[in-house]
Structure formats: structure tokens, C-alpha cells
Amino acid sequence: MSRSALRNRPLLRTAYTQEMAMLNTPAKRRSVLAIVVLAALLPFVVTDDLLLVLTLGMIAAVGAIGLNLVTGYAGQVSLGHAFFIGLGAYTGAVLGGDPEGPVLGYGLPMWIWLPAAGVVAAVAGLLVGPLAVRLRGLYLAIVTLGLVFLGDHIFREAREITGGPGVGRRGPELTLFGIDFSQDGEVLTRGQLQFLLALVFLVVFAVLARNITRSGVGRAFGAVRDRDVAAAVIGVDLTRTKLLAFSMSSFFAGVSGALYYAVVGVFEPSAFSLLLSVQFLAMVLIGGVATISGSIMGALFIASLGRISGEIAHWLPFISDASGSSGLLSVFQLEAILYGLLIIGFLIFEPRGLFGIWLRVRNYWKGWPFSY
């Protein structure tokens, strides 16, 4: 069928490959292009402090996509994401860190430390796999929670690598293709450079994840999530699928962790606590379970929550700006309460998350001014 014949019937599909295509409607093609272009132009209109928030949000989105692969798509509840993020962060920091610094560092270039961070985390994911294969549901959640505590202990004790609690260490050097992303360049400022770098990585990993989910592996994930015994009966190798899910998710987490703390600069072992796992879980749940675009929305939303609660604090007299005891709540406490309430609220009222809200809005305007 020729292209012109399809012009007025864009949703007509004549082959499964069209149905399974990544951008299977013209609207998707146009809007994704528009979003990417707008995002690329954003650093030139937004101030640097807001850019940093968005940069960190986009890097966290890579980790959130990873968690969504294992928890959303493959249905294996993981509270251990913080451990893999930490593993990636420290692998990156050791390989790419300053060799003359007080802690271990080899000063390797970014094209080595970034993939290495992902691979080390993925291998750790494979090691956790055997437990995941034998356990399921909430047993698995508790075991992965134990992983966070064991990891926290290891990070605290390995002082020559992590600097120890209260001291911390510097992240790796952000230099790629001769461009130094850690200081202002000739044309662009540091914030703009980092934003664009994060955007490129986010697009690459989002496309990668989308491709995983629409491949045979992705369908196997879905089958395991929906009913693992049934999946095994129709020939899905449970062990292999769960191991794959954990290692892929950990790879994303490792890369995200290494990049995140390269941008942040100095970080402490206490960063990788249970709270971080809960934050990532919140990104996935608030964004939308088993959607890539939802993970990105969720991550950007959670990352800017600190900023949002700061803005709210200006308007509410009973919230103090600093951590002082005047006022009813401090900004940090407000932020934490918002987390909790958002998780509860979304799960009760809109389990599909921000992605679900987007669907509702889209469907409303699709039929506007008619109700359907």
C-alpha cells in the first residue's frame, strides 16, 4: 500500500511491525520530536539553578526506567534499587576519580567508567537473581530491603573507597570527547552543558528500554508479572527472565548512579539508604507502572519536589525556610510528607500515575467537544 493511500487513515495498520513500531501514530511522532526539540532549547531560556534540578531529574529518570523494568514490567518488587545506584556511583567514582585524591581513584576516561559502572551493578544484580528466582512478592521485597542495609554497611566501612560517613568523596570527572562538563565552556555554561549531556543519555536509555519492552524479552517480562506459573507453562524460562530483569534494571541503576553523583560532586555513603529506594519506587508509582514515559515524568516530578515544596513554603506561613524549629514544619519535612501523601494518593485515586492522568486528558481532548 502506498504512502499516499494511508495519508487520511493514519491509524490503519497493515502489518504487525507497524503496530509494534516505537512511534506508531503520527501524533506520537510529532509530539516526541517537539518534546525533544523543546527540551534541547530549554537550557537557553531557563536559569542555571533550575537547570540543575532538571538535569538531576533526567539522570534519575534513567534509574527510574531501570526500576520500572524490573518492578513494573517484570513484576519483581525491588526495594534494593539504592544499593545498585550506590554500586554504580562508587564504581564510577573509583574508576574515574582523581588519582591524587585522599580516596581510591584511577582517573580513567568517561567512556570507560560509565559503562563499567553499569556492568558492575548488572553483575551484582545477577548475584541477587538466585534469591529472586526462589522468592516472590513481598518476600522478595524484604530480601531486597535487607540488601540496602547490607550495602549501606559495606559503603560505610569501605573508607578507602567511599571516604566513610560524614566525609564522603568526589564523584568521577565528567569529560567526554574533549569537552569538560564540570566547568563553563567557551559557548555554554556548565549547567547548560550538563543539561544537554543528561538529555542525550536519557534519550538513549529511554529508547533502549522501550526497545527491550517491545521485544521478546519484554513480553516474557509481562508474562512473568501477570502469572509466573502460566508463563513457565508456555515456555518462558523463569530463571533466565528474572535474572535478565534484575541485571538490566541494575545496569540502568549503575549508569544513573555514576552520572548522578558525577554531576552532584561530593557524596556520602549515607545517600544510599532505604529512603533513596523509596524515592525511586515513588518515581515509578507516581509516574506510571510499566510505562517508560511515565518513569521520566515521575522522575522529573520527584526531582523537582524539593523545589516545589520550597515554593509552597513561601506561601504557607506555618512552614519555616530553614531546618530551624520555628514554624510547624521545615521545608524538608514538608517534602517528605508530600512524598508520603503523593504515594498514597496516587495509588488510591490514580494507580496508573501521571501517565494515567495524561491518558485521561488526551482522551478528553480527542473527542472534544463531545464526551466520546
Partner 1 sequence: MTDFVQALVNGLGQGSVYALLALGYVMIYKATKVISFAQPSLMIIGGLFAYHFTRVWELPFWIGLVLAALCGAVLGMVVERLAMRPMVGKPVFTLAIITIGVDIVLRIIANRYIGVQSKIVEYPGGSERLSVGGVSISHQTLGLMVVTALVVVGLLTFFRKSRTGLAMRATALDQETALAQGIKVGTMFALAWAIAGGLAAIAGTFVATQAAGIEQTTWIIALKALPAIIIGGLESINGAVIGGLAVGVVEALTAVYQPDVAPWLGANFALVAPYALMFAVLLVRPYGLFGQKEVERV
Closer to partner 1 by Cβ: residue 227 or 366: 227
Site for partner 1 in 271-290 (CB under 8 A): 274, 278, 281, 285
Size of the site for partner 1 (CB under 8 A): 44
In the complex, the smallest distance separating the C-beta of residue 266 from partner 1, rounded to whole angstroms, is 22
**Between 180 and 321, whose beta carbon lies closer to partner 1?**
321
Q: Is the CB of residue 77 less than 8 Å from the CB of residue 138? A: yes
Asked if 341 interacts with partner 1 (CB under 8 A), we say: yes
Rounded CA separation 233/164 (Å): 49
Answer for which of 339, 352, 353, 355 binds partner 1 (CB under 8 A) is: 339
Q: Which of 19, 138, 177, 187 binds partner 1 (CB under 8 A)?
A: 138
Binding mask 57-86 for partner 1 (x = CB under 8 A): --------------------x---------
What is the three-class DSSP state of 188? coil
Tally of residues, the chain? 372
Query: Rule CB under 8 A: which of 346-365 touch partner 1?
Result: 347-348, 351
Instruction: Give the H or E element holding residue 84.
Output: helix 81-96
Do the bridges between strand 319-320 and strand 329-330 make them parallel or antiparallel, or are there none, so unpaired? parallel
DSSP state letters, 18-62: HHHSTT-SHHHHHHHHHHHHHHHHGGGTS-HHHHHHHHHHHHHHH
DSSP secondary structure string for all residues of 103-167: S------HHHHHHHHHHHHHHHHHHHHHHHHH--THHHHHHHHHHHHHHHHHHHH-HHHH--TTT
By CB under 8 A, is residue 47 in contact with partner 1? no
Return d(Cα 191, Cα 7) in angstroms, integer: 42
Quick check: helix, strand or coil at residue 75? coil
Residue closer to partner 1 (CB basis): 176 or 343:
343
Q: Does 175 bind partner 1 (CB under 8 A)?
A: no
Determine, following the binding rule CB under 8 A, whether residue 149 of this chain makes contact with partner 1.
yes
**Minimum distance between the CB of residue 74 and partner 1, rounded to whole angstroms?**
13
Is residue 340 involved in binding partner 1 (CB under 8 A)?
yes
320 bridge partner residues = 330
Site for partner 1 in 307-336 (CB under 8 A): 325, 328-329, 333, 336
Which residue in the set 28, 153, 362, 366 belongs to the binding site for partner 1 (CB under 8 A)?
Answer: 153
Q: Which three cell numbers stand for residue 366?
A: 480527542
Residue 245 in the binding site for partner 1 (CB under 8 A): no
Residues in contact with partner 1 by the rule CB under 8 A: 77, 130-131, 134-135, 137-139, 141-143, 145-147, 149-150, 152-154, 156-157, 227, 229-230, 233, 274, 278, 281, 285, 325, 328-329, 333, 336-337, 339-344, 347-348, 351
